[in-house]
Amino acid sequence: MLGNVAKHKNEQYLSTPKTKSSERELYLDSKTLKLICIWKEYQSKVGNVELVFSHDGTFLDQGWMWKKFRTLQKKLELPFISIHDLRHSHASMLVHLGENPKMIQERLGHANIEMTLGTYSHLYPNQDVELVKKLDQIN
């Protein structure tokens, strides 16, 4: 991620990420990557579009995504969650898959491991029991 859209006095502009750790490469699963490739191919037909989340090269209104997301939730009769909750869900799934906390930290762009562990450590219940089981397998 090399930049993000920021807003100041009702004017949107491309800004640098908030922290150095926010500047990172994001590796995507094959399905997501395929969808982005299809989207980028469509974008190339409407002009040179460097932004991923844009129809015509202009910034999306910051409320647009939220409105579309909320409309879809209502249509599908899903409980309300924020777009940011999807980030937490993603991190939670990585924890439950047993991924390394350092890798989760880097993927989320957290400045330090303490931020990641402070936010998600409650998702590691009974890890001491699992640790002892693994130690037993060594013996």
Band of residue 17 on the pLDDT scale cut at 50, 70, 90: confident
**Position 52 in a domain:** no
The pLDDT, as a whole number, for residue 2 is 57
**Position 29 in a domain:** no
Pairing mode, if any, of strands 11-15 and 4-8? antiparallel
pTM surpassing 0.95? no
- Crossing angle for the helix pair 113-120 and 83-96, nearest 10 degrees? 90
> For residue 102, what are the domain limits?
79-131
**Position 1 in a domain:** no
Instruction: Label residue 26 left, alpha or beta by phi (over 0 means left) and psi (-120 to 50 means alpha).
Output: beta
**Position 65 in a domain:** no
Average pLDDT of the segment spanning 8-14: 75
On whether the CB atoms of residues 102 and 109 are closer than 8 A, the answer is no
**Position 126 in a domain:** yes
On whether the CB atoms of residues 14 and 3 are closer than 8 A, the answer is yes
